[in-house]
Amino acid sequence: MALLDTLFGKKKKEFRASCQITKEPIEKGYGYLLTTAQIVTSKRYWDMIMTEPETMSYTLSHFKNQTSGTQMRSMIFEKYATVAKPWIISDSIINYFEVDKTEARENAKKWWETEGTYSPSNIGPASQILEEPLYKRSKEYAILEAGRDKVRLS
């Protein structure tokens, strides 16, 4: 069968990945694998997410005490906090997270070896993995405080 595949040009599609945060391509065998819990507990991550061009209007509205902005920020938090799969991320963004980089790199290598099927332990939505006080603090920061230092209200 392999000979026929070779003769008729059937080739398995190469497994590729892009950073789930920056969207930049990640070379095979590189990157870091994080859990949703590790992602959502990062204040630097939320400061970045809530001040991106696509979300800045919601952040401005929130800090002007408009409930629509706060509601949208809550929906953005839920979108990210409910991700059940691991996150493959690039070298350019890893410093936003306080994680064991060696372990995250090793997990990424396992993820590449299994073509994206490997999952580290404690994978799942952040609300199911994190202890309630930490989840609540992370959620409150993301929704109520993230980006405050980058916003100028006039």
Percent of the chain with pLDDT over 70: 91
Domain count, the chain: 1
Whether 143 is in a domain gets the answer: yes
Whether 72 is in a domain gets the answer: yes
Which 8-state DSSP code applies to residue 88?
A: E
Confidence class for position 11, pLDDT limits 50, 70, 90: low
Whether 4 is in a domain gets the answer: no
Whether 10 is in a domain gets the answer: no
Q: What is the pLDDT of residue 61?
A: 94
Domain extent, residue 122, equals 16-147
Whether 78 is in a domain gets the answer: yes
Whether 113 is in a domain gets the answer: yes
pLDDT in tens, 12-54: 678 899 999 999 999 999 999 999 999 999 999 999 999 999 9
Global pTM reads 0.87
Whether 36 is in a domain gets the answer: yes
End-to-end Cα separation, the chain, in angstroms: 70
